[in-house]
Chain A
Amino acid sequence: MNTGLKSPTGIWWKPAHKAERLWVQIAFAWCMVLFAMMPLWHLKGAQNPSGIRATVVPNDFAKRTYEFINTYKVGDDHGVPVVEPPPGSDVYLMGRMWAWEPVLRLRKGAQYTLHLSSLDVNHGFSLAPVNLNFQVVPGYDYGLRITPTEAGEFTIMCNEFCGINHHAMVGRVIVLDDAAPVPGGTQ
């Protein structure tokens, strides 16, 4: 036997002893479990970061977002437009230094396709207190099919460094319960 500092002499390509072989086998089996879990969750799980992925010119994304805002706008909140899109619709959320636009009013249990993109640098979509995080990259449209599973007030923080006011880049999502009265503007 030798330490790791010494050159092994002769033939050292020898079969491993029992304990070492056992551990390698167990570790390999565990690695296969780790691997299998991901495809399995795509089949059975409800949270996957797949989405609809496309490139988009930032100006075009801004245009789509403003169209979306004009169609479904129901008010203003601190100068940010509030929109209430119908269930099943495409929703646009635009990040830029240092704001998220618009404020979203969604319905619990309804599915939306949430399009995320940035007009300038990378931003991070982080929904609190749910702890749901996605990268927002300029030039790319990330269309995630999301279904809010709880009603209440939620915050969108930016969690990718985007300049001096990064910490003030906070947006808002309101999820209404099915039982709540339907406000005007929905279809």
Chain B
Amino acid sequence: MTAAAATFRTCPTTGLKVHSQADALIKANAVAATVSLLIGGVAAVLVLLTRWQAVHLLPADWFYRILTVHGMSMLIFFIIFFEMAVLYFASAVMLNSRVPAPSLGWAAFVLMVVGALLVEWMMWSGQADVLFTSYVPLRAHPLYYLGIILFAVGALVVTGLFFATLVVAKRERTYQGSVPLVTFGGATAAIIAVITLLHGAAVYIPTFLWSLGLMPMDPEVYRLIWWGLGHSSQQINVAAMVSIWYLLGGLTIGAVVLNEKISRSAFVLYVLFISMASAHHLLVDPGFSPAWKVWNTSYAMYLAVLASMVHGFTVPAGMEAGMRIRGFTKGLFEWLRKAPWGDPGFSSLVFSVIIFGFLGGITGVTFGTEQINIIAHNTFRIPGHFHATVVGGTALAFMGVTYYVIPLIFRKQIAFYPLARLQPYFFAIGMTVFSMAMTFAGTFGVPRRHYDISFSGAPFAAQFNPAVDLIIGVMAVGGLLASLGGGIYILCTVWSVFFGKPLPADAKVAAVPAAILNPPKEPPAGDVEHKGLTSGTLVLVAVFLLCFIAYYFVNWKLLSAVWRVG
């Protein structure tokens, strides 16, 4: 009955049937994500201009306050709102299904908005100067913890709706065969989200009670469970980002899935080992044994790293094969040279893969090695690493897919499209310079989350290697360039959504990526001759592996030079 009553439209580009409630829920969550990104982005610039010692903009109390705002607005509100939109898209839209109980989706949305507003209020009014991690016994106002709990409950409801949509779509036979790979990846993101949010409940509910003086809280137990939330939530990002890689590859150039078994198995590896990553943050903590640290930090012998390395091959290889079977067969890299680099969806995809893999992935595995963490923990190397994964990787992939969401879901042309085409370049180059410089400064021991590395007011004088000032200057330039890219993204998307020209029906020319008006040809059904289909990618991953090996062992060498400790 409900299925019959639901209104659908057919997407002219993809041929998918889109439920009006899916449309509306995606729009609402995407707008909330963009507002969060704007708040977090302004905070980013303020933090950057303070850590740049030559400017040193904010006073100490506002620095830590704004740093808290930056972390929460970006890592929690922006990313999770966006992921809610991705979950609606990957289930209802991709499976031609209705959203069951859309009113529940709206209730969840309201809950998340109220939670986010509570948290923002507490942070801006100076009642939660505890930074993103809020390590107990630092204490925030109880409403801060309550806001996060409300937000998390809302997100949990949306993941429930995602699974319900899978069931409804299967029962109502809205698709044939298995779910598409993108939906499968979305499902792993949703499973990881459930694990993550349960950790969140397990840590924030007791902490809320603790802040009211109702129960004790052990600082080390807090760190263990909090990171079960804090790191696992990054694995939602990874799973969602990789799903978007496959999605963007398919949309922009018709990338194929080389082998469904391999790609899907890799997603399953994420689910199996993800909550162990809490250990990455506890490697130089007093509460855990070496055996526990080694086993957990490696995700049970690096099997989740293996998953990322597999996707790191299958995503570009699928793109290469997709281009080759459409005639771009010359040499090793014609498929890459002749790719649509002016399509912001495509350039975002490529930069996201490169920055996530080369900068974020290599540094992450290296710093997450039990012993190497001694020369990385809480230094600038850590935010250097995760700005490459979560900003250069996840956020950039999200930006890229937005250039498809605007015409496909909002059915608007993209405002200032020539500027939008340059946006991924600004953002990617800026973020690359920023995170590399930040990581490099960290090798000198420059601490993260630190107001003043000239240590004014300290009893003893301390000074870093003078090179650090220069490196931080470079970092600031990169950060400002990335902020410019982020600003252009917000301008283009907000303008498109609220004042943009509608997408004309049957348009031949419109300010949208070319692949929307003229989608890539369907790949041939059945098997294709595989010889040489992925040879360019093999060269690329070989370069990647060599960089990985070099960086990893250089860090062991650096470690071997410091004081003996055991």
The residues of A with any CB-CB pair to B shorter than 8 Å are 1-10, 12-14, 16-20, 22-24, 26-28, 30-32, 34-35, 37-39, 41-42, 45-51, 53-54, 77-80, 99, 111, 116-117, 120-122, 124, 126-135, 137-142, 144-150, 155, 157-172
- In contact, A132 and B375 (Cβ under 8 angstroms): yes
Chain B residues proximal to chain A, CB less than 8 Å: 14, 60-61, 64, 94, 129, 131, 135, 137-138, 175-182, 185, 218-220, 223, 243, 246-247, 249-251, 254-263, 282-290, 293-294, 297-298, 301-303, 305-306, 309-310, 313-314, 317-318, 321-322, 325, 365, 369-371, 373-379, 443-445, 447-453, 455-460, 462, 464-465, 523-528, 530, 533-535, 537-538, 541, 545, 548-549, 552, 556, 559-560, 562-566
Q: Please tell me if the beta carbons of B317 and A20 are within 8 angstroms of each other in the complex.
A: yes
Closest B residue by C-beta to A45: B371
A36 to B325, CA, bound (A): 41
Does A157 lie within 8 Å of B447, measured CB to CB?
A: yes
Residues B180 and A5 in contact, CB atoms below 8 Å apart:
yes
Chain B residues, Cβ within 8 Å of A54: 286
Measured in the bound complex, the distance between the Cα atoms of B135 and A34 in whole Å is 30
Distance of A121 Cα from B140 Cα, bound (Å): 13
- A45-B371, A46-B566 are contacts. A171–B460 as well, Cβ < 8 Å? yes
Report how far A132 CA is from B378 CA in the complex, Å: 10
Given the interface pairs A133-B374, A134-B284, the reply to whether A168 lies near B298 with Cβ below 8 Å is no
Minimum CB–CB distance for A1 against chain B, Å: 4
Q: Which residue of A lies closest to B249 (CB)?
A: A4
Closest Cβ–Cβ distance, residue A35 to chain B (whole Å): 5
Does more than half of chain B's interface fall in helix, strand or loop, or is it mixed? loop
CB atoms of A78 and B460 under 8 A apart: yes
CB distance from B92 to the nearest CB of A (A): 14
8 Å CB contact of B176 from A7, A127, A132: A7
- Tell whether, in the assembled complex, residue B301 and residue A147 are in contact, meaning their CB atoms are under 8 Å apart: no
Min C-beta distance of A70 to chain B, whole Å: 21
Interface centre among B179, B223, B282, B460 (most CB of A within 10 A): B460
Q: Which residue of A lies closest to B281 (CB)?
A: A135
Separation of A139 and B285 alpha carbons in the complex (Å):
12
Partner of B303, one of A30, A31, A134, A171: A31
A38 CA / B374 CA spacing, docked (Å): 13
Q: Is the CB of A23 within 8 A of B310?
A: yes
B288: A residues at CB distance < 8 A: 53
| CA–CA, A101 and B289, complex, Å | 27
